[in-house]
C-alpha cells in the first residue's frame, strides 16, 4: 500500500479482553497490508506470536513509529498522549471505552476507515498540552504535563482551600473553594464540563479556568488566551496538604504557600481522524444533542 506511514505502533488497554481481541485483529490486518508493526511492551503481553524485538517501551515507540494506534478509552489515549506528544508521531484511537471523545474508530469495523487513513486520506489536528510546575520557596519541586486539565484540589473530599490566581503576574482573584480546574479545549468536554465549564472547540488557542464549588455566587468560569501563564498561589492558611492532578492520572503534591504555574507546553499532539470526521457530530453523539428538525 502507498502510505505516508511505514512503521505503526500499537498501544492497548491492559487486562481488557475486548481490547486485546481488537489489538490482535489490528496486528494481523496491518501485517497483511505490509506495514512494520511494533507493540508497546505491556500491550504485547496480551497478544500472541509477537517477536520479542517488536515489543518496545512507549518512549521507544514514539521515537520509532510514524503512527500510533491506541486501543481503549480516552483515559488510555491521555496516558499515551502525554508521552507521544514529545515526538512527531501521528496518533489515532480505536474506542474500547465509554464516551470516546478522542478515540473515534469503531472496534467492530475499523478496517475500512483505518485503510482510508493509512492511504493518506485523513484529517489532522494539533492539540496543545499544559505544562504544570509546582514551586516551593522559588524552587521547582515537581512537574508534569496534561492533555485535558490540571486540577488544584485538597487531598480530602469536599474540603475548602484558599488560593490566589494570577495571569501573567496580573492578579485576577482570590478564592475559597474546593479547587480550580484549568482546562484545554481537548479537556473542555471532560471534567471541566461536569463542573459547569464551557465547551472550547479544538482549534481555539484558549484555556478555561473553572472554579470548583466556590464560596461565592459571583465566581464564574473564565476563558483566557492559552499563551498566558496561570499562577496559583496557595495561602499559608490552608491546614492540609493539597494536590494538583494532571488528567486524573498524575498527582503532584502541593503544600500551603506553594505556587503552581500552568502554561501551554511547547510540544503538541498530532491527532488524526478519518476523512469524514466532524467535531460537532462527535458532540451530538456523545452529549445526546438533538438532531436536525428539517
Q: Which residues are annotated as a binding site for NAD(+)?
A: 74-75, 148-149, 159, 176, 178, 189-194
Active site residue 74: yes
| Catalytic site residue from 49, 74, 170, 227 | 74
Residue of 34, 30, 33, 100 lying closest to 68 (CA atoms)? 30
Name the packing angle between helices 17-32 and 111-118 (round to 10°).
50
Strand partners, 163: 175, 234
- SS3 for 158-170, per residue? CCCEEEEEEECCE
Residue of 264, 261, 192 lying closest to 233 (CA atoms)? 261
Which amino acids are annotated as binding site, given as ranges? 74-75, 148-149, 159, 176, 178, 189-194
Residue of 12, 17, 69, 71 lying closest to 41 (CA atoms)? 12
Distance, in Å, from the CA atom of 144 to the CA atom of 187, rounded to the nearest integer, reads: 16
Distance, in Å, from the CA atom of 229 to the CA atom of 199, rounded to the nearest integer, reads: 21
Residues designated as active site: 74
Amino acid at each position: 500500500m502507498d502510505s505516508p506511514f511505514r512503521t505503526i505502533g500499537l498501544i492497548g488497554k491492559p487486562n481488557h479482553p475486548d481490547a486485546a481481541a481488537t489489538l490482535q485483529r489490528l496486528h494481523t490486518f496491518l501485517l497483511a497490508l505490509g506495514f512494520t508493526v511494533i507493540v508497546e511492551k505491556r500491550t504485547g503481553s496480551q497478544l500472541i506470536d509477537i517477536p520479542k524485538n517488536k515489543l518496545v517501551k512507549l518512549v521507544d515507540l514514539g521515537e520509532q513509529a510514524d503512527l500510533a494506534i491506541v486501543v481503549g478509552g480516552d483515559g488510555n489515549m491521555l496516558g499515551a498522549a502525554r508521552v507521544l506528544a514529545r515526538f512527531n508521531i501521528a496518533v489515532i484511537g480505536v474506542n474500547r471505552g465509554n464516551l470516546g471523545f478522542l478515540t473515534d474508530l469503531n472496534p467492530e469495523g475499523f478496517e475500512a476507515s483505518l485503510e482510508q487513513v493509512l492511504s493518506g486520506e485523513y484529517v489532522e489536528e494539533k492539540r496543545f498540552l499544559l505544562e504544570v510546575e509546582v514551586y516551593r520557596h522559588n524552587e521547582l519541586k515537581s512537574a508534569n504535563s496534561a492533555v485535558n486539565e490540571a486540577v488544584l484540589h485538597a487531598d480530602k473530599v469536599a474540603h475548602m482551600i484558599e488560593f490566589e490566581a494570577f495571569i501573567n503576574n496580573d492578579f485576577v482573584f482570590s478564592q475559597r473553594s474546593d479547587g480550580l480546574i484549568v482546562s484545554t479545549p481537548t479537556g473542555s468536554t471532560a471534567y471541566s464540563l461536569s463542573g459547569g465549564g464551557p465547551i472550547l472547540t479544538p482549534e481555539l488557542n484558549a484555556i478555561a479556568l473553572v472554579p470548583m464549588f466556590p464560596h461565592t455566587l459571583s465566581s464564574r468560569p473564565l476563558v483566557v488566551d492559552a499563551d498566558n501563564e496561570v499562577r496559583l498561589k496557595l495561602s499559608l492558611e490552608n491546614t492540609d496538604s493539597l494536590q494538583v492532578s494532571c488528567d486524573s492520572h498524575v498527582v503532584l503534591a502541593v503544600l500551603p504557600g506553594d505556587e503552581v504555574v500552568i502554561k501551554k507546553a511547547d510540544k503538541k499532539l498530532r491527532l488524526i481522524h478519518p476523512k469524514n470526521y466532524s467535531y460537532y457530530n462527535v458532540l451530538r453523539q456523545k452529549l445526546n444533542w438533538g438532531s436536525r428538525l428539517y
